[in-house]
Structure 1
Amino acid sequence: MSIPHFLDIEYCQTDDALFPTAIAWSLADGRMKTVVITPDDAWLPEDGELSDLDLLHLEEQGVPVLEVVRELHEDLPDLTVFVDGMDPDEILVDILFSAVKQEAPFEIAPVTELIKDLDIETLEDRRRQLMFEEGLEPQLPENGVYALLLLAREEGYLEG
């Protein structure tokens, strides 16, 4: 049985901007990668106002969009990648890949397409409960992916 792949994206959303700030995804062996993203200049509002976002942190700690896209191409080619369905993940992936004039090499699907026995409300309640039990901060994308991996294991989609 192959391990399903999961993805979660943290993002900035204001009246003038919507763009990814960090991304995490799982690999075929169950490990995860997480990356802070240096915003593309085109994503930033002209006035530079982004409320609580620490733009300096993103610029200093972030990885350029082209490198993020390259890694995603290497790790997730021709796969279906599952997301929690709570965020605008598909739009954020499009924004990320459009910045380098490419298309995503993977298809995004809500986790309900993998775990069909539970409705979205039950899945989300269980995911939240797992995050609480594990002491995970919900705003970190790697924690979102980890919670989805735990949920998939609980539902019999992973070994151990």
Structure 2
Amino acid sequence: MQAPRFLDIEYCQTDDALFPVAMAWSLADGRMKTVVITPEDDWLPDDGDLGDVDLRYLGEQGVPLLELARELHADLPDQTVYVDGLDPDEILIDKLFSAVGQEPPFEIAPITELITGLDSDSLEDRRRQLMIDEGLEPQLPENGVYALLLLAREEGLLDPD
């Protein structure tokens, strides 16, 4: 059984900026990939205010956008990729692929389109509880993807371990 694909994006949002800083996604076999993203210069606000985002860290550890786009094309071609539905994921994905002059190779859909037996509030409550139970930091995108994988497993959408 192929696992549904999940994606979560950590992002910087200020009055003048909105851009992705890290991303995690799952593969068909349930494994995950995670990357820190090197931002484009034109994404950065003129006043330099990035809140608590460390621009030097992103520059040193981040993956260039073209490399990230290639990896997403290889890992998620023609897929529906599910997100928690809480973040501006579509805007962030569009920003990332626009910066490299490409279209995203996948469609984004909220988890409520995959798990239809629970309403969005119940799903979010369950996702939060799983993160607490597993001791996961919610700001890390890999933890967001892991919680969505756990939800899918609970709903019988993944093979049990």
| 1:18 corresponds to | 18
One-letter amino acid of the counterpart of residue 134, structure 1: E
SS in 2 for 1:94: helix
CA distance in 2: counterparts of 1:52 and 1:86, whole angstroms:
20
Within 5 Å, give how 1:4-153 maps onto structure 2. 4-153=4-153
| 1:3 corresponds to | 3
SS in 2 for 1:151: helix
CA distance in 2: counterparts of 1:21 and 1:50, whole angstroms:
11
Q: Which runs of 4+ in 1 moved over 4 A?
A: none
SS in 1 for 2:21: strand
Q: Deviations over 1:10-67 (max 9, x none)?
A: 0000010000000000000100000000101110112222121111111111111111
CA distance in 2: counterparts of 1:136 and 1:51, whole angstroms:
23
Q: Deviations over 1:54-101 (max 9, x none)?
A: 111111111111111110000000000000000000100001101101
Q: What is the CA-CA distance between 1:112 and the residue it aligns to?
A: 0.3
Q: What is the CA-CA distance between 1:109 and the residue it aligns to?
A: 0.2
TM superposition score normalised by structure 1: 0.98
CA distance in 2: counterparts of 1:21 and 1:104, whole angstroms:
17
- Percent of residue pairs identical: 77
One-letter amino acid of the counterpart of residue 75, structure 1: D
TM superposition score normalised by structure 2: 0.98
CA RMSD of aligned residues (A): 0.6
CA distance in 1: counterparts of 2:52 and 2:43, whole angstroms:
16
Q: Which deviates further from its counterpart, 2-11 or 39-48?
A: 39-48
Task: Say how many residue pairs are matched.
Answer: 160
CA distance in 2: counterparts of 1:90 and 1:100, whole angstroms:
16
One-letter amino acid of the counterpart of residue 63, structure 1: V
